């Protein structure tokens, strides 16, 4: 595959500044990777200089070019009276439910009818569950259910309008 004549032609083409792909095409029957491997094994990493002028390097990165003005005329914005946004008050922060030390539930004492709200750091001995009577079909007592299941806040109308204008809607 690599005869002496082909190796000499490879050296000549590489010294002329041809890329590995171009050398592979000129030689025929070899891949770009085969040329790169042979160049490496021959130690021909140095390249001949081309007649191109050297590029001046800049110290700072170039600023992005300003975008040309759009040729299309923007759609007129209709003046709409904005409706007041009605927000539900945030649920008030409830004081932590105090449970007497003798009535604290552990993972072993939980049942399907007890509140499974975790209290404290699981890595400590003080960790426990609420253990009070849970609401039907819920894992928590009424106080902890209010904390766990908060109503979804309605989205602001301005957010919806902003999305419409951003996507041309």
Give pLDDT, residue 31. Answer: 94
Q: What is the mean pLDDT of residues 149-166?
A: 68
- pTM here is 0.35
What would you report as the CA-atom Rg of the chain, rounded to the nearest whole angstrom?
A: 37
Per-residue pLDDT tens over the stretch 100-123: 666 778 888 888 888 888 888 988
- What is the residue-averaged pLDDT of the chain? 75
Average confidence (pLDDT) over 16-42: 92
Please report the pLDDT score of residue 25 as a whole number: 94
DSSP string, 142-168: HHHHHHHSPPPPPPPHHHHHHHHHHTT
> What's the confidence (pLDDT) of residue 7?
93
pLDDT, average across residues 10-22: 91
Neighbours of 17 (CB within 10 A): 13
Handedness of CA 98, 100, 106, 109 (dihedral sign): negative
Residue 141: CB partners within 8 Å, gap ≥ 6? 97, 115, 117, 130, 132, 133, 134, 135
CA neighbor of 18 nearest in space, from 55, 48, 53? 48
Residue with tokens 């609401």: 135
**Does residue 19 register a pLDDT over 80?**
yes
Which of 107, 129, 108 shows the shortest CA–CA distance to 117? Answer: 129
Rounded Cα gap, residues 169 and 165, in angstroms: 6
Does pLDDT of 92 surpass 80?
no
Which residues fall within 8 angstroms of residue 9, CB to CB, at 6 or more apart? 26, 27
DSSP 81: P
- Give the residue with greater pLDDT, 58 vs 106: 106
**Token output for 134:** 């849970």
- Residues 95, 96, 97, 99: what is their CA dihedral angle, to the nearest 10 degrees? -140
Task: State the pLDDT at residue 133.
Answer: 87
Residues 33-43 have pLDDT tens digits of 999 999 999 88
Question: Is residue 128 a contact partner of residue 97, using CB atoms and an 8 Å limit?
Answer: no
Q: Do residues 117 and 96 lie in contact, with contact meaning Cβ atoms separated by under 8 Å?
A: no
């Amino acid at each position: 595959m690599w005869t002496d004549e082909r190796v000499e032609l490879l050296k000549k083409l590489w010294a002329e500044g041809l890329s590995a792909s171009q050398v592979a095409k000129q030689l025929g029957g070899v891949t770009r990777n085969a040329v790169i491997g042979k160049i490496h094994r021959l130690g021909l990493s140095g390249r001949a200089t081309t007649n191109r002028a050297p590029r001046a390097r800049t110290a700072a990165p170039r600023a992005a070019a300003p975008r040309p003005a759009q040729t299309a005329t923007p759609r007129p914005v209709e003046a709409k009276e904005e409706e007041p946004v009605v927000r539900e008050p945030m649920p008030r922060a409830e004081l932590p439910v105090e449970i007497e030390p003798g009535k604290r539930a552990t993972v072993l004492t939980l049942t399907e009818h007890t509140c499974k709200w975790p209290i404290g750091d699981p890595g400590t001995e003080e960790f426990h569950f609420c253990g009070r009577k849970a609401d039907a079909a819920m894992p928590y007592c009424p106080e902890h259910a209010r904390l766990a299941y908060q109503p979804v806040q309605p989205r602001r109308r301005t957010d919806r309008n902003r999305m419409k204008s951003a996507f041309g809607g």
